[in-house]
Structure 1
């Protein structure tokens, strides 16, 4: 059975240490080596676009962009479970608000 890979991520506006508003969420899956490569390309593209976009936001709050591609294990009952040490690609940036 081919490995199933998942892309998860988000863009958040950080209100304070306990609260954040989700501006965008990413959630895609793929199988095999081609699926893995495609998800990594998508993650890098999302990350680059949203990092640049958030730098231009006119807000007083920080924003954060996070993407993660990881491998899953198919359990005997058919459910997907995140594979231990299965991280393929991960990136995070916290962007300070623009000051003029």
Structure 2
């Protein structure tokens, strides 16, 4: 299984970028994207940026990845999903059933 990791671009050089994120600094290919600016967040799979993220999306993904590590260690993850503690999660609109389906 391959997980996407949010990383922030530090330096852009052609179709490569020096990024920092979970696991430390890394050289990332930007070949699949129009080169994002320095400071942008990208979703990285196997050292290749696949999507540009907002800072909020990057934070949510980072929280979910931290929750996986915490849960595997037997810890509580409620503080990492504060927006879900008092309500049931909802599917995004594109995954919800439509009346005709």
Please say whether Structure 1 and Structure 2 have the same fold, judged by a TM-score greater than 0.5.
Answer: no
Q: Give the structure with the higher percent strand.
A: 1
- Larger RCO of the pair (alpha carbons < 8 Å, separation 6+): 1
> TM-score, normalization: structure 1?
0.25
> TM-score, normalization: structure 2?
0.25
